[in-house]
C-alpha cells in the first residue's frame, strides 16, 4: 500500500492504530486531517472547555499494568490549564477509585472531558507531573484532540450546591462509620455479582481505558480513555466473567482498538447515574471482527469481548447527579442484543416460510413498482447483504373455480439497504411474467406474501476500500440501489470520500426507476456521481436535466467518463447488456476478479471469446457460455413421474431444468443459479451432482433442478443409475 501521504515518524498514531486503520481502509483518509487535528498542546478553546466541567474521566494503569477507567468529580473550575502544556485537576479521586493508587509522577494517563448536556467531548493524553495541595494532580500534555458527539446521551448536571453538599456530607459520614466498623465502602470481586449485572443491564453509557507502552522511546506511548454509548443493555453480560458490546462507527482514529491490537487489556467504568453507584472493571479484551453477531447487530462494525479479572463496586459514590434529557439521535439506527438474538434465531431457520404484509406500493417507473414488506409477526427481519435477493411464494388463482390455486415461487432482489424495518422489492411488470403480472395487477397494501430469509452470491464487498462502479441496465438497477444506499449510509456517518460511480442505462425517462432519487443523491454526496444513458429518449428527455447521454453504455463511454483504475465493478441487467459491458471492460484492461455480476434470466458465466486480452472491443460481438468440460460425460436416463416419460440426458443438455423444459415440462424457477430454491424437487431415485455448486438450503431428498445434473455412479448399470424426479 502506498504510504507516501504520511510520515511514519510524525504521525500521531502508533503502529497498532495504523494497523487497524490500514486493515479497515481508512489510513489515507484519516491522515488527510489527523496530523493537524491531533496536537501536543491544549488549544485555548479546550482549556476553557475543561475549566467548566463538573467531572473528567481518567484512564490509568495499576502496578500490574492493568487499565482502569475512573471519574474525578468537582464543582466547575476544579480543572484548570495554567498553560497550553499543562492540565491541573484540583480534587482527589473518589473513595475506592483505583486511580488513587496510580498517580506516581511520570505515570501515563488518558483523559476524556465530556459535557453530557451538549454532547461535546475532547480527549487528552499525558503524564503525571506532580500532586496538588488539594490531593489532586497536574499533567504534562502529550496529545489533545476533539471527538465526535455520536452516541452521547444528553444529561444535565445538578448544580444545586445545598443538596449536593448534603449528599457528599452524608456519604463521608457513612464512610467514617463503615471504617470504624472495619467495613470497606467498596466491594471487590473477580466475578460479576447480581448488583454489578443489574448496573450493566440498564447502562446506556460506559467508559473504556486502554494502553500502549512498548517503551519510553516512542513518544506516543500512554493511556487512552474513551466513551461508549448505546441503547440500555448494549453492554451485555454473557456470564459471571464475560461481557460483550458492539462497536459503532466513529472517528476512525481507532485509538482503543489500536491499543488492544498490541496490548489486549481494558478497563471499564460503568456509572449508574440514578443511584450514584460506580462499577469498575478490568480484564482481557478481544475484538471480534466478523461473525453472526456482528452481522445481525444493527449498525455494529465489530464486537468487543471483555474477560473480567477484577471488579470493584462502590455504591453511592457519585457526589452529584445528572438529570436525563434524551438519547443520542445516532442510536436510532443501532440495534439491541435482544433484536440481534432474534435475528440470529430467524437466520438459523433460513428456509422456513414467513408471512409478510405489503405495507405500501410505490410506482418507480411506467413498468416498475416497489412493494414494501414488513413481517406480520413484528419480529426482527433477517439481515442480508446489499445485492442479495428474497425467495418468495405466492398463491396464483386458477382460471377455473374447480381448480385449486397454484403455489408459485420466485426470487426478487431487495432494492434497499438493510434498515431492520422492511424489505423493498422493486418488480418490473413483464407481459410474459406470471408472477410479476400478479404483483402489478392483483397485489395491494395489506396482502400477505410469504418469504424465506434473503440469500444470494451477488453482494457488495464490504472489506474493499477501492472506488466502486455500478453498471446497470433496466430493472438491473435494483441490487445497485441497495449497494449504493449501504455505501452512502456509511459515508454519511463518517465521510471517507470513497468514490462511487452510478451508471444506468434504460430506454427513456418514463422507464427510468429511481432516477429522481439517484440524481438527488448525487447533489447530496460529493463522492457519488451519476450517469444516466437513454437508448430511445422521449421528447421530454433533455440532456443536462438528469440525463447525461443518449445511446448505450459502451467502452467509449466508459473510457470518457471513468478515470479507470483499480476499481470494483458491479454489473446487472439483461443478457445483451451484460455481454457487451463485460467484453468492453475486458478490452479496457479491467481484471476479471474486479468484476462482479448478476443477470436476470438464464444463468450464464460471462467469458470473453477473446480471452479478455488487450485491445478495445466495441459493443458488438458475443460472449460464450462456460464449457461443459466439468460435467459428467456418461449419458443417464431421467424419468419424470408426472408423465412417466423417460429421456436420455447428455452433457450438452445442460441442467435437469433445461432437460425438463426441452421435454415440455415447465417447473417453477427463478435465479437459475442454485441460490433461490424456487426449483426444488424431490429426487426419488438415482444420483446427481452440482458442477457449479449452489447456496439454497435443501434437504437430503431434494435437488435444485437449475444446477443439478445426473451422474452415473461407478459400478452401476444403466438401469440402476436411472434418475427419477417427482416432477
Per-residue 3-state assignment (H helix, E strand, C coil) for 553-622? CCHHHHHHHCCCCCCEEEEEECHHHHHHHHHHHHHCCCCHHHEEEEECCCCCCCCECCCCCCCCCCCCCC
- The grid cell for 718 is 444403466
Radius of gyration of the chain (CA): 31
Residues of the chain with CATH 2.30.110.10: 15-233+246-286+311-326
What average pLDDT score do residues 293-312 get?
91
With cell 440500555, the residue in question is: 232
- Class of the CATH domain delimited by 15-233+246-286+311-326: mainly beta
Sheet holding 680-685, edge to edge: 645-649, 636-640, 723-725, 680-685, 702-704
- The grid cell for 56 is 473528567
pLDDT higher than 90, residue 213: no
What average pLDDT score do residues 409-426 get?
92
What does the pLDDT read at residue 639?
Answer: 92
pLDDT higher than 60, residue 673: yes
Domain 468-599: CATH architecture, name and number where available: 3-Layer(aba) Sandwich (3.40)
DSSP 8-state secondary structure symbol assigned to residue 264 = -
What average pLDDT score do residues 462-468 get?
84
Nearest to 117 by CA among 75, 76, 155: 155
> How far is Cα 526 from Cα 456, in angstroms, rounded to an integer?
31
What does the pLDDT read at residue 618?
Answer: 30
- The top-scoring range by mean pLDDT among 379-383, 421-425, 430-434, 695-699 is 421-425
- The grid cell for 371 is 412493494
What does the pLDDT read at residue 653?
Answer: 83
CB of 616 within 8 A of CB of 629?
no
What does the pLDDT read at residue 6?
Answer: 65
With pLDDT > 70 as the criterion, what percentage of the chain qualifies?
A: 87
CATH superfamily of domain region 349-451: Translation factors (2.40.30.10)
CB of 245 within 8 A of CB of 228?
yes
> How far is Cα 418 from Cα 413, in angstroms, rounded to an integer?
12
| Residue that wins the pLDDT comparison between 335 and 346 | 335
CB of 319 within 8 A of CB of 292?
no
Nearest to 483 by CA among 378, 425, 390, 570: 570
What does the pLDDT read at residue 159?
Answer: 64
Residues of the chain with CATH 3.40.50.80: 468-599
What does the pLDDT read at residue 671?
Answer: 67
What does the pLDDT read at residue 490?
Answer: 81
pLDDT higher than 70, residue 670: no
pLDDT higher than 70, residue 270: yes
> How far is Cα 470 from Cα 502, in angstroms, rounded to an integer?
5
- Tell me how crowded residue 216 is: count the other CB atoms within 10 A of its CB: 9
Residues of the chain with CATH 3.10.20.30: 636-725
pLDDT higher than 60, residue 120: yes
CA dihedral (85, 91, 94, 96) in degrees, to 10, reads 80
**The CATH number fitting domain 636-725, selected from 3.30.1330.30, 1.10.3210.10, 3.10.20.30, 3.40.50.720:** 3.10.20.30
Burial class of 332 by CB neighbour count within 10 A (0 to 12, 13 to 18, 19+):
exposed
Nearest to 493 by CA among 152, 146, 150, 121: 150
Q: Cα 676–515–564 angle (5° rounding)?
A: 80
Strand 549-550 to 528-534 pairing = parallel
What does the pLDDT read at residue 574?
Answer: 87
pLDDT tens-place string over residues 218-261? 767 899 999 999 999 999 999 999 999 999 988 888 999 999 99
| Residue that wins the pLDDT comparison between 52 and 174 | 52
pLDDT tens-place string over residues 19-51? 998 888 788 878 877 777 788 899 999 999 999
What average pLDDT score do residues 119-140 get?
92
- pLDDT range class, residue 602, cuts 50, 70, 90: very low
CB of 99 within 8 A of CB of 70?
yes
pLDDT tens-place string over residues 136-182? 999 999 999 887 788 999 999 986 544 444 454 555 555 555 544 44
477-493 and 515-524 helices, crossing angle to 10°? 20
What does the pLDDT read at residue 93?
Answer: 95
> How far is Cα 338 from Cα 329, in angstroms, rounded to an integer?
20
pLDDT tens-place string over residues 54-75? 999 999 999 999 999 999 999 9
Cα 554–chain centre separation: 33
pLDDT higher than 80, residue 565: no
Nearest to 598 by CA among 611, 582, 622: 582
Least-confidence region, from 276-290, 368-382, 389-403: 389-403
Per-residue 3-state assignment (H helix, E strand, C coil) for 463-523? CCCCCEEEEEEHHHHHHHHHHHHHHHHHHHHCCCCCCEEEEEEECCHHHCCCHHHHHHHHH
What does the pLDDT read at residue 216?
Answer: 60
- pLDDT range class, residue 600, cuts 50, 70, 90: low
What average pLDDT score do residues 581-599 get?
87
What does the pLDDT read at residue 193?
Answer: 96
pLDDT higher than 50, residue 459: yes
Q: Taking all residues of the chain, what is their mean pLDDT, rounded to a whole number?
A: 85
Buried b (16+ CB within 10 A) or exposed e, 659-698: bbeeeebebbbbbbbbbbbbbbbebeebbbeebeebebbb
- pLDDT range class, residue 382, cuts 50, 70, 90: confident
CB of 499 within 8 A of CB of 469?
no
Sign of CA dihedral 166, 172, 174, 176: negative
> How far is Cα 632 from Cα 688, in angstroms, rounded to an integer?
10
What does the pLDDT read at residue 203?
Answer: 96
What does the pLDDT read at residue 383?
Answer: 85
Amino acid at each position: 500500500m502506498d504510504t507516501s501521504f504520511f510520515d511514519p515518524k510524525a504521525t500521531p498514531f502508533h503502529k497498532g492504530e495504523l494497523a487497524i486503520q490500514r486493515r479497515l481502509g481508512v489510513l489515507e483518509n484519516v491522515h488527510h486531517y489527523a496530523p493537524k487535528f491531533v496536537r501536543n498542546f491544549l488549544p485555548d478553546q479546550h482549556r476553557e472547555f475543561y475549566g467548566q466541567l463538573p467531572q473528567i474521566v481518567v484512564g490509568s494503569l495499576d502496578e500490574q499494568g492493568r487499565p482502569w477507567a475512573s471519574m474525578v468529580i468537582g464543582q466547575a473550575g476544579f480543572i484548570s490549564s495554567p498553560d497550553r502544556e499543562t492540565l491541573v485537576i484540583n480534587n482527589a479521586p473518589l473513595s475506592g477509585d483505583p486511580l488513587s493508587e496510580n498517580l506516581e509522577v511520570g505515570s501515563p494517563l488518558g483523559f476524556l472531558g465530556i459535557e453530557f448536556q451538549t454532547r461535546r467531548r475532547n480527549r487528552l493524553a499525558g503524564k503525571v507531573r506532580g500532586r496538588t495541595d488539594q490531593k489532586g494532580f497536574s499533567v504534562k500534555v502529550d496529545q489533545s484532540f476533539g471527538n465526535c458527539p455520536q452516541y452521547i446521551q444528553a444529561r444535565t448536571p445538578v448544580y444545586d450546591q445545598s443538596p449536593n453538599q448534603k449528599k457528599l456530607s452524608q456519604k463521608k459520614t457513612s464512610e467514617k462509620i463503615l471504617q470504624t466498623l472495619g467495613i470497606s465502602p467498596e466491594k471487590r470481586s473477580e466475578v460479576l455479582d447480581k448488583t454489578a449485572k443489574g448496573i450493566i443491564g440498564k447502562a446506556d453509557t460506559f467508559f473504556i481505558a486502554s494502553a500502549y507502552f512498548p517503551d519510553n522511546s516512542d513518544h506516543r506511548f500512554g493511556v487512552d480513555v474513551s466513551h461508549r454509548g448505546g441503547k440500555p443493555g448494549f453492554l451485555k453480560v454473557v456470564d459471571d466473567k464475560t461481557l460483550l458490546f458492539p462497536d459503532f462507527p466513529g472517528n476512525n482514529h481507532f485509538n482503543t482498538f489500536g491499543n488492544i491490537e498490541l496490548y489486549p487489556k481494558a478497563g471499564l467504568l460503568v456509572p449508574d447515574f440514578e443511584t450514584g453507584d460506580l462499577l469498575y472493571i478490568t480484564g482481557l479484551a478481544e475484538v471480534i471482527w466478523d461473525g453472526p453477531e456482528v452481522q445481525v447487530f444493527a449498525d455494529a462494525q465489530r464486537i468487543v469481548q471483555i474477560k473480567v479479572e477484577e471488579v470493584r463496586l462502590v455504591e453511592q459514590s457519585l457526589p452529584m447527579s445528572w438529570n436525563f434529557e434524551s438519547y443520542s439521535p445516532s442510536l436510532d439506527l443501532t440495534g439491541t442484543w435482544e433484536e440481534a438474538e432474534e435475528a440470529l434465531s430467524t437466520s438459523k431457520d433460513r428456509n422456513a416460510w414467513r408471512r409478510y404484509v405489503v405495507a405500501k406500493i410505490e410506482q418507480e417507473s411506467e413498468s416498475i413498482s416497489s412493494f414494501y414488506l414488513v413481517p406480520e409477526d413484528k419480529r426482527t427481519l433477517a439481515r442480508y447483504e446489499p445485492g442479495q435477493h428474497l425467495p418468495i411464494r405466492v398463491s396464483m388463482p386458477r382460471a377455473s373455480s374447480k381448480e385449486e390455486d397454484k403455489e408459485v415461487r420466485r426470487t426478487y432482489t431487495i432494492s434497499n439497504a438493510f434498515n431492520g424495518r422492511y424489505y423493498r422489492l422493486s418488480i418490473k411488470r413483464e407481459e410474459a411474467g406470471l408472477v410479476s403480472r400478479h404483483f402489478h395487477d392483483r397485489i395491494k397494501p395489506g396482502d400477505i406474501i410469504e418469504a424465506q430469509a434473503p440469500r444470494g452470491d451477488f453482494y457488495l464487498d464490504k472489506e474493499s476500500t477501492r472506488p466502486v462502479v455500478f453498471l446497470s441496465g433496466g430493472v438491473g438497477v435494483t441490487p445497485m440501489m441497495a449497494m449504493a444506499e449501504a455505501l452512502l449510509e456509511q459515508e454519511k456517518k463518517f465521510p471517507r470520500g470513497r468514490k462511487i460511480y452510478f451508471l444506468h442505462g434504460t430506454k427513456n425517462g418514463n422507464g427510468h426507476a429511481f432516477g429522481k432519487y439517484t440524481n438527488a443523491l448525487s447533489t447530496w454526496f460529493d463522492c457519488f456521481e451519476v450517469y444516466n444513458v437513454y437508448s430511445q429518449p422521449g421528447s421530454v428527455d433533455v440532456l443536462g436535466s438528469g440525463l447525461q447521454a443518449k445511446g448505450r453504455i459502451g467502452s467509449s463511454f466508459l473510457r470518457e467518463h471513468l478515470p479507470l483504475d483499480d476499481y470494483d465493478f458491479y454489473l446487472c441487467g439483461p443478457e445483451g447488456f451484460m455481454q457487451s459491458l463485460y467484453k468492453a471492460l475486458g478490452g479496457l484492461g479491467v481484471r476479471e476478479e474486479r468484476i462482479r455480476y448478476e443477470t436476470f434470466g438464464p444463468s450464464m458465466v460471462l467469458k470473453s471469446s477473446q480471452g479478455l486480452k488487450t485491445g478495445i472491443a466495441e459493443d458488438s460481438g458475443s460472449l460464450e457460455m462456460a464449457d461443459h468440460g466439468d460435467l459428467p460425460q456418461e449419458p443417464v436416463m431421467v424419468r419424470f413421474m408426472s408423465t412417466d416419460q423417460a429421456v436420455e440426458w447428455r452433457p450438452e443438455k445442460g441442467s435437469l431444468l433445461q432437460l425438463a423444459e426441452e421435454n415440455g415440462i415447465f417447473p417453477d424457477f427463478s435465479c437459475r443459479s442454485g441460490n433461490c430454491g424456487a426449483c426444488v424437487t424431490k429426487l426419488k431415485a438415482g444420483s446427481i451432482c452440482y458442477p457449479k455448486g449452489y447456496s439454497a438450503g435443501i434437504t437430503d431428498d431434494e435437488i435444485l433442478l437449475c444446477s443439478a445434473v445426473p451422474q452415473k455412479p461407478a459400478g452401476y448399470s444403466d438401469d440402476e443409475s436411472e434418475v427419477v424426479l417427482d416432477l
